[in-house]
Amino acid sequence: MTRVALAFSGGLDTTVCVPLLEEEYGHDDVIGVTVDVGQPAEEFDEAEETAEALGLELHVVDAREEFAQLCLESVRANASYQGYPLGTALARPVIANAILEVAKERDCDAVAHGCTGKGNDQLRFEAIWRDSDLDVYAPVRELGLTREWEQEYAEEKDLPVEGGSGGDWSIDTNIWSRSIEGDELEDPNYVPPKEIYEWTAEPTGETEEIEITFENGYPVAVDGEEMGSVSLIEQLNELAGAYGVGRTDSMEDRMLGLKVRENYEHPAATTLLNAHEALEALVLTQEEREFKQLVDQRWSKKGYEGLVDAPLVDALEGFIAETQKRVTGTVTIRFEGGQARAVGRDSEYAAYSASHASFDTETVGSIEQEDATGVAKYHGFQRRLAKKAAQKAAGTELSADGGSEE
């Protein structure tokens, strides 16, 4: 008997994959795997109800802690892609690994997903799975299925889906972000209605300040209360979301080269990233900050690709870990007008001297204001020489043509 483990959500795509894996791929047994990375409870209810109606063996894996820890690693790397925090991208390798583990435990011959051939998720799943000796199937992509075909097939087979609509939008939720796409949102000029948002309220004139504590670059407490990674993210989603923090409307360049319109909500992620960058600005030197921007950019790109276990990421994280030894302290964040702004920061490792920087002090130790005179004379010295040389060269060229240097 052959068996395949299917990434299963209970939605239209994965539901039609169950009989297709039997009919088109010749598998005797299909099992479903649903991985919890912070989706709403109703999604698990849907998956379980659909699996029961299909007679499908369903495994539910709790990966929230593992995913939350990866999200906090992304904070240390200030990770974002084209202006928004990485949520779906970081979740996919966690989900893929969990499915692979179940597949191995249940002696499966293959793994399968319901991703289309136009998105990023197919690549993120398969980057993990193709490290194994299991076959990899993608029925929606390989059979060229359209949503209309799937709806007709579901009706013909009397599959337990309500026409496959699932609402107007395609929504993916985890504890780090909520993405909304599809339908009229595919038009870049379409203004999203307020009802697409669930995590973020419309900004008002109200404000609130909170204090976030970091240790070695990891956020560990809110207003002095220490908590685990999952609880901390969930609490900040609620706190920041109430002030409209963390909305992004993006024209995103996917890995396949397609440009798509995506809307995101990410209150906790926005808050933590802003706080972390503010603390880094206090404790890191100018050179460290400038070089780390390059490191963070590369980490973010690999995170977007779903390749957080790549050798390059290991090397990048070596540098990140060294810099984060001093990223310990507190940051005061103010929620106001849909923003999460750092309005205060404190650390015993600050690379900052108030007495030296103050306009109100004339002499500090051996440093005096007039010491900068020599620096000012040399600053731009080569530029001045180069400009004179350029003027001279321009004059020479004119003379060679027989014209006046003037």
Q: What is the pLDDT of residues 49-62, one digit of tens each?
A: 999 999 999 999 99
Given a cut of 50, whether residue 259 has pLDDT beyond it is yes
What pLDDT shows up at residue 366? Answer: 73
Minimum mean pLDDT range among 64-73, 125-134, 367-376: 367-376
Name the catalytic one among 9, 13, 178, 347: 13
Beta bridge partners of 80: 85
Is-catalytic flag, 253?
no
What pLDDT shows up at residue 403? Answer: 54
Name the catalytic one among 74, 76, 80, 92: 92
The label of the residue with tokens 């300040």 reads 209
Name the catalytic one among 121, 124, 296, 347: 121
What pLDDT shows up at residue 163? Answer: 40
Given a cut of 60, whether residue 401 has pLDDT beyond it is no
Is-catalytic flag, 121?
yes
What pLDDT shows up at residue 390? Answer: 93
Residues whose CB falls within 8 Å of the CB of residue 105, separated by 6 or more in sequence, listed in order: none
Percent of the chain with pLDDT over 90: 84
334 backbone dihedrals φ, ψ, rounded to 5°: -110, 125
What pLDDT shows up at residue 285? Answer: 97
Given a cut of 70, whether residue 359 has pLDDT beyond it is no
| Positive or negative: CA dihedral 196, 198, 204, 209 | negative
| DSSP 8-state class, residue 185 | G
Which secondary-structure segment (H or E) carries 250? Answer: strand 247-253
The label of the residue with tokens 């240390």 reads 76
For residues 393-404, average pLDDT: 60
Please give the mean pLDDT across all residues of the chain: 92
Given a cut of 80, whether residue 270 has pLDDT beyond it is yes
Name the catalytic one among 168, 170, 250, 298: 170
Q: Which tens digits make up the pLDDT trace of 86-114?
A: 999 999 999 999 999 999 999 999 999 99
3-state secondary structure of 133: coil
What pLDDT shows up at residue 289? Answer: 97
Given a cut of 80, whether residue 164 has pLDDT beyond it is no
Given a cut of 70, whether residue 241 has pLDDT beyond it is yes
For residues 333-339, average pLDDT: 97
Given a cut of 70, whether residue 166 has pLDDT beyond it is no
**CB neighbours of residue 372 within 10 Å:** 11
Q: Which tens digits make up the pLDDT trace of 179-208?
A: 998 889 999 999 999 999 999 999 988 999
Given a cut of 80, whether residue 389 has pLDDT beyond it is yes
For residues 258-287, average pLDDT: 97
Tokens of 73: 């690693």
| DSSP 8-state class, residue 403 | -
pLDDT range class, residue 165, cuts 50, 70, 90 = very low
CB 144 within 8 A of CB 171: no
3-state secondary structure of 195: helix
Given a cut of 70, whether residue 242 has pLDDT beyond it is yes
- Report how far residue 180's alpha carbon sits from residue 171's, in angstroms, rounded to the nearest whole number: 5
Given a cut of 60, whether residue 404 has pLDDT beyond it is no
What pLDDT shows up at residue 114? Answer: 95
For residues 53-81, average pLDDT: 97
